[in-house]
């Protein structure tokens, strides 16, 4: 096996374990045995253990020797830390994007947001919620790309797994949070278009803090 093949195999194993643990099958704080998880994923104990060590580094599980693996608990500190890290990265990205980003990026961000907002105002469906979730991911990508740093991008992606874990374990009202989020997106675009770095950072801060409040109120 070449080094590249080994890395790819480890990455696929990691994704398999992560999907299984974070799919909603297990509750926050629940204990899972290493052997049971290996059986469920069809992986070796060694591959499963290596993946769990990565998830532990990302703060998604805790490894208790001789006892098993515990999923992260949905406590206030866990939620706040995840959103705080997201805020730090996206605020600075907004400043950079307002200063140096091309106008076409702002056009794309607005073009993907307005149709979804109009659709949400007319009503919601499972298909629309899936579409808006994808739009949300694509909207925030330029704020991360503005850093031009693979290290920051990796940290952000790992944190987004935490955010996803949080969102799957709270009962957000269908559609309502998306409508507010898309409206906040347009405020961010307006500040970016105006080339006002501080205003763009402030709009991002308002957006992420609003998302945090929605989660913390449930």
Strand order in the sheet with 31-32: 31-32, 68-71, 61-64
The partner residues of 61 in beta bridges, in order of sequence, read 71
pLDDT in tens, 39-97: 888 888 888 888 888 889 888 899 998 888 999 888 899 999 999 999 999 999 999 99
- Say whether pLDDT at 6 is over 60: no
CA 79 to chain centre: 12
Residue 172 pLDDT: 56
The CATH number of the structural domain formed by 76-216 is 1.20.120.530
Read off the pTM: 0.84
According to DSSP, the residues that pair with 71 across neighbouring strands are 61
pLDDT number for residue 168:
81
Say whether pLDDT at 175 is over 80: no
- What mean pLDDT do residues 95-111 have? 97
- Kindly indicate the confidence band of residue 23, based on its pLDDT and cuts at 50, 70 and 90: confident
The structure tokens 């449930």 sit at: 218
Look up residue 34 and give its two tokens: 């290493």
Cβ contact 108:97 at 8 Å:
no
In contact, 85 and 212? CB cutoff 8 Å = no
Confidence of residue 176 (pLDDT cuts 50, 70, 90): low
- 13 and 51 Cβ atoms separated by less than 8 Å: yes
Q: Check residue 107 and report its DSSP letter.
A: H
Topology (CATH level 3) of domain 3-71: Arc Repressor Mutant, subunit A (1.10.10)
pLDDT of res. 212: 93
In the numeric block, which tokens belong to residue 150? 């693979």
Instruction: Kindly provide the residue ranges of all beta strands, DSSP E only, lying in the chain, ordered along the sequence.
Output: 31-32, 61-64, 68-71
Measure Cα distances from 189 to 140, 142, 185 in Å.
Answer: 11, 11, 6
Please report which confidence band the pLDDT of residue 8 belongs to, taking 50, 70 and 90 as the band edges. Answer: low
Q: What pLDDT is recorded for position 93?
A: 98
In angstroms, what CA-CA distances link 177 with 42, 44, 102, 185? Answer: 37, 41, 29, 12
Residue 42 has which token pair? 């069809």
- Statement: residue 3 has pLDDT above 80: no
**What per-residue confidence (pLDDT) applies to 184?**
96
Domain residue ranges of the chain, discontinuous segments joined by +: 3-71, 76-216
* pLDDT recorded at residue 18: 85
3-71 and 76-216 in the same fold: no
pLDDT digits (tens, 9 = 90+) for 189-212: 999 999 999 999 999 999 999 999
Instruction: Please tell me whether residue 131 adopts helix, strand or coil conformation.
Output: helix
**119-151 residue pLDDT tens:** 998 888 889 988 998 999 999 999 999 999 999
Asked which of 7-11, 32-36, 82-86, 125-129 is least confident by mean pLDDT, the reply is: 7-11
8 A C-beta contact, residue 32 and residue 72 = no
Of 175 and 7, the one with more pLDDT? 7
């Amino acid at each position: 096996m070449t080094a590249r093949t080994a890395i790819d195999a480890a990455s696929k194993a990691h994704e398999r374990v992560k999907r299984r643990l974070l799919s909603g099958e297990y509750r926050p704080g629940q204990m899972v045995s290493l052997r049971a998880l290996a059986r469920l994923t069809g992986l070796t104990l060694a591959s499963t253990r290596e993946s769990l060590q990565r998830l532990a580094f990302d703060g998604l599980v805790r490894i208790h020797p001789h006892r098993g693996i515990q999923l992260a608990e949905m406590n206030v500190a866990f939620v706040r830390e995840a959103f705080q890290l997201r805020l730090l990265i996206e605020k600075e990205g907004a400043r950079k994007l307002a200063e140096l980003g091309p106008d076409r990026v702002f056009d794309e961000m607005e073009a993907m947001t307005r149709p979804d907002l109009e659709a949400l105002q007319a009503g919601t469906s499972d298909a629309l919620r899936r579409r808006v979730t994808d739009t949300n991911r694509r909207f925030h990508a330029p704020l991360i790309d503005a850093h031009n740093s693979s290290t920051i991008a990796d940290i952000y992606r790992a944190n987004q797994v935490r955010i996803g874990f949080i969102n799957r374990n709270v009962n957000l009202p269908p559609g309502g949070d998306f409508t507010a989020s898309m409206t906040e997106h347009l405020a961010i675009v307006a500040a970016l278009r105006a080339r006002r770095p501080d205003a763009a950072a402030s709009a991002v801060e308002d957006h992420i803090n609003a998302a945090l409040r929605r989660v913390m109120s449930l």
